[in-house]
């Protein structure tokens, strides 16, 4: 073992694992998990369960109820009954429930962070410092709006029962983004978590029980998209579908709900530009890139996945970036010294590998660090493509993995043209020491959010959506 003096010289990190016990014990006590409907737990009508796996080991983690259309009907009926009382409950009383939820999330934050890390594969550093604190923040923030609704949003009414379908990349945070504004504004909810990552939504259901949220205000139905999701889309008593996920499923939702009178909000993908001008502080840029594309293994809708660099500094920046990539640490997501965790599952891993092969076959140059990934579980190394053509597949398609494509530009106008050369319009990041230049470029980018000399900053009071809509303050849940 190295001495302290040696470590002081090498600055090597040893492992710093967070104990898995709180999560494993909690799972053991509860499984097989039922469906949370009308304020209580019930067995799935199908009698079937599916297994949620730990992506860093590939091993089963928990048995979870396989809901079906009958379970959705029961959940919607419960939410409809609950709407009568909840929508008439004064805002300041609803606020008290949201404050109580936020406090319980903080109280159970260690359990929730460990569960999220084990179920999704993301690092404990991220779940502990980003996902779970932001979940609490969303409930605190929307509690404030519940309280202010009558004075600040006069004449507006909740919609009714809202169907919410969420993805696996930020399981609990996406749940909070959806549930907090909806119930704050007096709606009731039926939520379907992603099949890969149901556990923190089930822990959240337990929190709803703990704080005495009226039965039926929040219902959680786990199960397959084909059965649970599709029934939610066609259910006549669901007033709105709120969805985050892939573009293809977003399109499907639009088609199926067209003409039904249902409202929809769709938060789909991105291929966000990360634009670096030659006067930028390059060391800060490198850390920004790490946060932009290796945060959550790049499985982030607003990931800065296209690095656009001013030509005269491109070689210098790419050298620095490669040196940094060489020192990123991949491995056990519960290790606090690990930067990159596991990809959510073998299917997503195979898709990343496929797109990387397409990139190589289209002539781009691939670079990966010299170290090897763990062989157990679904891991993929941080990857950098140079010599990328703007029209190539990897420059246009969302890879949803730790893969960065880089291109160069000469003038600000060219940076804007390249930045906007995408079918998406979610986010962008601009780096320059010249604030006039940065603000000018930011205003010309077609993106709902533009960060300057920073990236991936989120907060409950800052609306987050594509270029055409503003999703803020629960407005999507009012009429
Ligand atoms: P999906 O869009 O398939 O899944 C997102 C959610 O939608 C899940 O809860 C899923 O359920 C549900 N769903 C899937 N099909 C239907 C349907 N027909 N009706 C109703 N609900 C449905 O994403 P994937 O998990 O398949 O990921 C594929 C790609 O999507 C990724 O590679 C990435 O590009 C993109 N994506 C984007 C996200 C974002 O934040 N914008 C998040 C996740 C993925 P179930 O889990 O049971 O299949």
Q: Which of 18, 126, 267, 398 is catalytic?
A: 267
Average pLDDT for 367-393:
97
Q: What is the pLDDT of residue 479?
A: 74
Residue, of 475 and 87, whose pLDDT is higher: 87
Give the whole-angstrom CA distance, residue 306 versus residue 376: 29
Ligand 1 atom showing the smallest separation from residue 398 Cα: 34
29 an active-site residue? Answer: no
- Tell me the CA distances in angstroms from 36 to 160, 192, 475, one per residue in order: 19, 11, 27
- What share of residues in the chain are helix, strand, coil (percent, to 5)? 45, 20, 40
Q: Which residues pair with 266 in a beta bridge?
A: 243
Nearest CA to ligand 1 atom 28: 246
Q: Do 146 and 137 contact (CB within 8 A), yes or no?
A: no
Q: Judge whether residue 153 has pLDDT over 60.
A: yes
Counting ligand 1 atoms within 8 A of each CB, the residue from 51, 173, 249 with the most, and so the one to mutate, is 249
Average pLDDT for 154-169:
97
Q: What is the pLDDT of residue 468?
A: 66
Q: Do 456 and 465 contact (CB within 8 A), yes or no?
A: no
Counted residue by residue, the chain has a size of 479
Q: What is the dihedral of CA 18, 19, 23, 24, to 10 degrees?
A: 140
Give the whole-angstrom CA distance, residue 347 versus residue 351: 6
Verify cis geometry, omega within 30 degrees of 0, for the bond prior to 32. yes
Q: Which of 208, 301, 302, 398 is catalytic?
A: 301
Q: How far is the CA of 245 from the centre of ligand 1 (A)?
A: 4
Ligand 1 atom showing the smallest separation from residue 300 Cα: 40
* Strand pairing category for 306-310 and 403-409: parallel
Q: Phi and psi for 240 in degrees, rounded to 5?
A: -150, 145
| Residue 4 CB neighbours (<10 A) | 6
Q: Phi and psi for 311 in degrees, rounded to 5?
A: -55, -40
Counting ligand 1 atoms within 8 A of each CB, the residue from 44, 245, 250, 293 with the most, and so the one to mutate, is 245
Average pLDDT for 327-332:
96
Q: Name the pTM for this structure.
A: 0.95
Nearest CA to ligand 1 atom 21: 229
Average pLDDT for 380-387:
98
Average pLDDT for 284-293:
98
Average pLDDT for 83-102:
98
One DSSP character per residue, 320-368 reads: HHHHHHHT--BS-TTBTT-SB---S-HHHHHHHHHHHHHHHHTTPEEE-
Nearest CA to ligand 1 atom 6: 167
Q: How far is the CA of 389 from the centre of ligand 1 (A)?
A: 28
Q: Judge whether residue 275 has pLDDT over 60.
A: yes
């Amino acid at each position: 073992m190295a001495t302290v003096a040696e470590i002081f010289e090498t600055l090597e990190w040893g492992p710093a694992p967070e104990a898995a016990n709180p999560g494993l014990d909690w799972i053991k006590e509860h499984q097989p998990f039922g469906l949370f409907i009308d304020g209580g737990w019930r067995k799935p009508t199908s009698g079937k369960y599916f297994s949620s796996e730990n992506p860093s080991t590939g091993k089963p983690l928990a048995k979870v109820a396989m809901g079906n259309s009958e379970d959705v009907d029961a959940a919607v009926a419960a939410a409809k009954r609950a709407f009568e009382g909840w929508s008439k409950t004064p805002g300041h009383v609803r606020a008290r429930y949201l404050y109580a939820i936020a406090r319980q999330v903080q109280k159970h934050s260690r359990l929730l962070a460990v569960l999220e890390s084990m179920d999704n594969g993301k690092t404990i550093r991220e779940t502990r410092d980003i996902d779970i604190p932001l979940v609490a923040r969303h409930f605190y923030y929307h509690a404030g709006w519940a309280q202010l609704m009558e004075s600040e949003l006069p004449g507006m009414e909740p919609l009714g029962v809202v169907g919410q379908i969420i993805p696996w990349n930020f399981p609990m945070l996406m749940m909070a983004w959806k549930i907090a504004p909806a119930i704050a504004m007096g709606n009731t909810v039926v939520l379907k978590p992603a099949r890969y990552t149901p556990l923190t939504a089930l822990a959240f259901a337990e929190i709803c029980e703990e704080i005495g949220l009226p039965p039926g205000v929040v219902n959680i139905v786990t199960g397959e998209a084909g059965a649970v999701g599709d029934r939610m889309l066609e259910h006549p008593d669901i007033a709105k579908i709120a969805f985050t996920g892939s573009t293809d499923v977003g399109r499907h939702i639009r088609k199926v709900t067209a003409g039904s009178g249902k409202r929809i909000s769709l938060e789909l993908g991105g291929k966000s530009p990360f634009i670096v001008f030659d006067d930028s502080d390059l060391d800060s840029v490198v850390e920004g890139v790490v946060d932009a594309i290796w945060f959550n293994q790049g499985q982030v809708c607003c990931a800065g996945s296209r690095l656009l660099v001013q030509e005269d500094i491109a070689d210098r920046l790419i050298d620095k970036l490669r040196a940094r990539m060489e020192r990123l640490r991949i491995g056990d997501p519960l290790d606090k010294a690990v930067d990159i965790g596991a990809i959510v599952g073998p299917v997503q891993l195979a898709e990343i590998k496929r797109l990387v092969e397409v990139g190589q076959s289209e002539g781009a140059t691939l670079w990966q660090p010299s170290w090897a990934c763990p062989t157990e579980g679904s891991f993929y190394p941080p990857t950098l493509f140079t010599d990328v053509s703007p029209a190539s597949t990897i420059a246009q398609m969302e890879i949803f993995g730790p893969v960065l494509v880089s291109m160069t530009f000469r003038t600000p106008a060219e940076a804007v043209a390249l930045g906007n050369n995408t079918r998406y319009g979610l986010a962008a990041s601009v780096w320059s020491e010249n604030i006039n230049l940065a603000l000018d470029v930011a205003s010309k980018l077609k993106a709902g959010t533009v960060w300057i000399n920073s990236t991936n900053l989120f907060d409950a009071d800052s609306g987050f959506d594509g270029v055409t809509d503003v999703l803020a303050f629960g407005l999507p849940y009012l009429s």
